[in-house]
Amino acid sequence: MRGAARPSARSLCLLLVAAGGGLLCPGQSAADPASQAGVTLLSSYLDPLPSSVVAKSSKASRWASLSPQQCMAEATRRKLGVTRWRGAATGVATPVRVSGDINGVRFVTPGKKSPYGILDCRLALALSELADVLKRHDVVEVRVDNMYRPRAHLPGKKKRSQHSYGLAIDMTRLLLADGSELTVERDFQGVIGEPVCGAEARARPELTREAGALRDLICDVARSEAFHHILTPNHDAAHRDHFHLDIARGARTQLIE
Ligand SMILES: [Zn+2]
């Protein structure tokens, strides 16, 4: 079931606030000016998520299955600020580096000498979808800790991490248009093991405005179906300070935790 067809619990709540109900809406603190104004066009983290089984036609699956030629053609068509990287990048099908904005959002990545600044062209297409969501949440700049990490493995397993293919991104901080910043480590207020989004997530009125904003944002990313795996500080201690987003060729499920 998709959440877009009906008003969200939060938007209904905001209407009641606007009518003088004096309520605190899911995912918002009392200090939230949106609560005062009674207007929001954004979903709450508590709104329903799409099915965990993603269609082959989902954005994540479409981009993950592109050939290098198809990907570069699409990146060029979209005028993405990426440049083909001809240096070493073992395991990355179509290595590029960020050289300008991606769909109107600045991605500040590790410098030219660091492999962490390399990404696969297919991840760049997913970042262009991500940028659409970020702009709705007033984000103008993203701080990236790393994307390509040569030979990275899943913790304690032989299976390769999507970072080893340049198909994963770790984001630590988001700069907003008003100059304020959301920092995952400082602001997320995570609880390991708790569901992040949707009907299973617990309404937490004690969350700060920043924590609610980060949740609303990352759950909207999940609704965009532009990634297969989204990991937050609720996943484990290793993710206490960043959001991990990746795409994986052949993946048919989406996970957010
Ligand atoms: Zn990661």
- Show me where the domains of the chain are located: 49-256
Query: Distance, CA 244 to ligand 1 centroid (Å)?
Result: 4
Kindly state the helix (H) or strand (E) to which residue 199 belongs, with its residue range.
none
Query: Distance, CA 39 to ligand 1 centroid (Å)?
Result: 34
Query: Distance, CA 171 to ligand 1 centroid (Å)?
Result: 8
Query: Distance, CA 152 to ligand 1 centroid (Å)?
Result: 10
Contact 44, 216 (CB under 8 A): yes
Query: Distance, CA 256 to ligand 1 centroid (Å)?
Result: 13
Question: CA-to-CA distance for 53 and 68, rounded, in angstroms?
Answer: 26
Q: How many CB atoms lie within 10 A of CB 46?
A: 23
Kindly state the helix (H) or strand (E) to which residue 10 belongs, with its residue range.
helix 9-18
Query: Distance, CA 180 to ligand 1 centroid (Å)?
Result: 24
User: What pLDDT, on a 0 to 100 scale, did the predictor assign at position 50?
Assistant: 87
Question: CA-to-CA distance for 52 and 175, rounded, in angstroms?
Answer: 29
Query: Distance, CA 33 to ligand 1 centroid (Å)?
Result: 33
Query: Distance, CA 230 to ligand 1 centroid (Å)?
Result: 9
User: What pLDDT, on a 0 to 100 scale, did the predictor assign at position 3?
Assistant: 37
Contact 193, 185 (CB under 8 A): no
Question: CA-to-CA distance for 232 and 217, rounded, in angstroms?
Answer: 12
User: What pLDDT, on a 0 to 100 scale, did the predictor assign at position 157?
Assistant: 87
Strand runs (DSSP E) across 121-183, as ranges? 139-146, 168-176, 181-183
User: What pLDDT, on a 0 to 100 scale, did the predictor assign at position 30?
Assistant: 41
Query: Distance, CA 155 to ligand 1 centroid (Å)?
Result: 11
Give residue-wise pLDDT tens across range 183-212: 999 999 999 999 999 989 999 999 999 999
Contact 117, 87 (CB under 8 A): no
User: What pLDDT, on a 0 to 100 scale, did the predictor assign at position 138?
Assistant: 97
Contact 2, 8 (CB under 8 A): no
User: What pLDDT, on a 0 to 100 scale, did the predictor assign at position 105?
Assistant: 98
CATH class as words, domain 49-256? alpha beta
**Positions of the chain with pLDDT under 70:** 1-41
CA angle, 20 then 46 then 185, to 5°: 105
User: What pLDDT, on a 0 to 100 scale, did the predictor assign at position 41?
Assistant: 63
Kindly state the helix (H) or strand (E) to which residue 132 belongs, with its residue range.
helix 121-136
User: What pLDDT, on a 0 to 100 scale, did the predictor assign at position 31?
Assistant: 44
Q: How many CB atoms lie within 10 A of CB 40?
A: 18
